[in-house]
Amino acid sequence: MKSTPLKLESYLLDVLLRDLVGHDRSAAAFLVYLLLYSMTHSAARRSVRISLAQVSGRLGLSKSAVQAALRILTRRQLLRVHRESRTAVPEYFVQRPWLR
């Protein structure tokens, strides 16, 4: 599979990294955000459906660390999550509030 370079907005490294890792003390939140960002924005998609186990496996993080990261990202309005049912694979919409 051919990989395509990911273009990062400077805000991600200049502000968001420091904010999530320093303020929220969650490097996992930054990694989860970066993964979902790359799966949506670099592919010009509005959203991505991915399970907790898939995120955990791709990042090498525990499921509980990913769950905590998703709670932080949702609370900070960096992610919007849609579930069709309690057991359905969630659909994640990556938000970029700094663009408003």
Q: Judge whether 79 lies within some domain.
A: yes
Residue of 24 and 2 predicted with greater confidence: 24
What range defines the domain where residue 58 resides?
Answer: 11-94
Q: Judge whether 82 lies within some domain.
A: yes
Q: Which two tokens stand for residue 42?
A: 């670099």
pLDDT score at 76: 92
Closest CA to 59 of 38, 82, 28, 88: 28
Q: Judge whether 21 lies within some domain.
A: yes
Q: How far apart are CA 61 and CA 56, in angstroms?
A: 5
CATH code of the domain in which 68 resides: 1.10.10.10
Q: Judge whether 99 lies within some domain.
A: no
Look up the pTM and report it: 0.87
pLDDT score at 1: 52
Task: Count the domains in the chain.
Answer: 1
Complete DSSP assignment for 28-75: HHHHHHHHHHHHHTTTT-S-EE--HHHHHHHHT--HHHHHHHHHHHHH
Mean pLDDT is lowest, of 3-7, 9-13, 52-56, 86-90, for 3-7
Give the tens place of pLDDT for each residue, 9-62: 788 888 888 888 888 788 999 999 999 999 998 777 889 999 999 999 999 999
Q: How far apart are CA 100 and CA 87, in angstroms?
A: 33
Q: Judge whether 5 lies within some domain.
A: no
Q: Judge whether 19 lies within some domain.
A: yes
